[in-house]
Amino acid sequence: MSQTIELNQAILSGNVSFITDYIQSGAGFGKITLVTPDGYGASPLRLAAIAETKYKGSPEITKLILENSSAEEQGEVLYSFASEDKYLEQASALLRAGIQVDSGQKNSTPLQLAVGNQNPKMVYLLLSYGADPNRKGEDGSAFDSADSNPLYEGMLNSALNGNLKSPYYFIDLEKVKLSLNRWANSIQAFAQNNTDKTFYVFGIDGGRLVANSEEEFQKTLKKYQEKYPDRYNQEDKIQSLRYNPGDFSFSIPEKWNDDAGDVIHLDDSFLNPMENETRIEKELLRDGLILNRNLIFKDLKLSSDFRISAFGHVY
């Protein structure tokens, strides 16, 4: 077995002694491409953060590899994780291990990228570790990336004022209430034309309401099993497909109606702040759908494992 394969396995399995011996032998982590369990190439540092948060890796291994990786590699990995809120756990692992929060690449910091890509949870995480809102790159500072967006400017200013606040405190809660009421009307209108289907999921994906039914999922699964017979006979692959919004069959048309008689009286207590509140807009909308499930979905046939999720990129 090659040393690279052994290194790959040691990181994924949390074998600290192997990593320690590897470092003491004088071997390095530069210019090595390892492989994640889902088949993607990754540097040792990137794989360590993924392994710690998704597999059997360990914080000690992440820290050891971080301390023995170049500043350039550290910056590249943290910068890549800052691109999406879905990498929040991996970025957190690196920050806990001691990575420099303003390390980046292309004359830009992770904070600038997170703000520019509109990743509110990542912005909040980076600011909580001391990221500098005023640090400038080739495209200016994080304030320039915010482009006058009140949510991001609010978080950046709160950090500068020494009283960092989460995204929740800069969300227009009245707008959330109006959006939820519009979605409730849209779902009830949608239900009138879909009484013969059993729905197992509704979700928020990129600002849209999407859904799938048991009947449509079986059609999709059959198509994938015919095309990839060796892949979609495994339960984990089937479940991943089942909850992949890109393969859902329904996008719920929004019903825009200003008629006061069309207002559904919903419980809006989901908007009340929680302890250590960090929810963002799509999570508030998800919680509103869940809290008002019996009223909003009353005309639809739902499966016993019906769920409501917030998918994908934030909006």
Span 215-251, pLDDT tens digits:
999 999 999 999 998 889 889 899 999 999 999 999 9
Between 266 and 38, residue with greater pLDDT: 266
Condensed to tens digits (0 to 9), the pLDDT of residues 78-90 reads 999 999 999 999 9
| Beta-sheet pairing, 208-213 with 198-205 | antiparallel
pLDDT for 315 beyond 80: no
DSSP 137: B
Distance in angstroms (rounded) separating the CA atoms of residues 173 and 78: 32
- Classified as helix, coil or strand, 151 is helix
Q: What is the mean pLDDT of residues 265-286?
A: 96
Report pLDDT for 312: 66
Phi, psi of 295 (to 5 degrees): -85, -45
Query: Rounded to the nearest 10 degrees, how much is the dihedral formed by the CA atoms of 196, 248, 89, 17?
Result: 100
Condensed to tens digits (0 to 9), the pLDDT of residues 192-221 reads 999 999 999 999 998 899 999 999 999 999
Percent of the chain predicted with pLDDT > 90: 88
Q: Give the strands of the sheet with 198-205, arranged side by side.
A: 250-251, 208-213, 198-205, 301-311
Distance in angstroms (rounded) separating the CA atoms of residues 78 and 92: 10
Least confident of 163-167, 240-244, 311-315: 311-315
Report pLDDT for 258: 53
Percent of the chain predicted with pLDDT > 70: 96
Other CB atoms within a 10 A radius of the CB of residue 266 amount to 18
Report pLDDT for 262: 63
Distance in angstroms (rounded) separating the CA atoms of residues 314 and 290: 19
| Residue type for position 300 | L
Q: What is the mean pLDDT of residues 152-159?
A: 98
Report pLDDT for 257: 62
Report pLDDT for 230: 87
Condensed to tens digits (0 to 9), the pLDDT of residues 40-63 reads 999 999 999 999 999 999 999 999
* Confidence bin at 261 (pLDDT 50/70/90): very low
Does residue 58 come out as left (phi exceeding 0), alpha (psi in the -120 to 50 range) or beta?
beta
Token pair of 313 as six digits: 């990129």
DSSP 143: H
Q: What is the mean pLDDT of residues 261-286?
A: 91
Report pLDDT for 263: 66
Report pLDDT for 47: 98
Token pair of 91 as six digits: 């970025």
The angle subtended at Cα 188 by Cα 187 and Cα 193, nearest 5°, is: 95
